[in-house]
Each structure stands twice: as C-alpha cells, then as structure tokens.
Amino acid sequence: MNKLTDDQVGQLARQASLEVDAEECRQLVERLNRELEMLQPLTELDLPAVEPTFCGAAHPAPRREDEVVPSLSLEQVFQNASTRDRDYFKVPQITSWEE
C-alpha cells in the first residue's frame, strides 16, 4: 500500500476547505500512514469467493406501519422550559455568524 505524501494530504485539506499549516500537515501524514499500515493485512485476504454486501445484518430490520397515537399538549411540553417563544423553546445563542 502506498504511503501518503504531504502534497496529497495538503490537496485533501484544500478540497475539504481545511486550513492546515505545514506542521499539522506533517502530523496528519504520519497519522494517516499509521492507519493505512493497520489496514494493510486486509489487502492480503483471499476474498474472491465472498459475495459483496452493503449491510452486515443477515436480516433486515422489521418494518411497521406508522400509527397516530395521542401526544403531549403544548402546555405539557413546555411546562419545565425556562423560556418559551410561542411554540418554540428559547435557548441562549451559542454560535456567531461573525468570524
């Protein structure tokens, strides 16, 4: 298995819109190459007889019909809310649009 280079990781970072300095890039290269080395034994497995799958479960999850059931009233939903704005919970802002 080929090892990743600084250039390849830098290109990946740009494609992912990540700002990575030279030191971070070097660390990423080392880390990703260690992880690729751990996967190396998988390339040595003899798998031609193994059917490809997209799901590891032998049986699909059982399905059920949607059923309308009674729900809580808005007053019950908001009874412990510290702040409410009409039919919404009001919470403190934790993000900012400014950079």
pTM above 0.75, yes or no: no
Distance CA 52, CA 9 (A): 30
Nearest residue to 32 via CA among 51, 58, 11, 62: 11
> Which residues lie below 8 Å from residue 26, measured CB to CB, with a gap of 6+?
6
Residue 60 has what pLDDT?
75
pLDDT surpassing 90 at residue 92: no
Chain segment 30-88, per-residue pLDDT in tens:
999 999 999 999 888 988 888 887 776 777 778 889 999 999 999 999 999 999 999 99
pLDDT at 2 over 60: yes
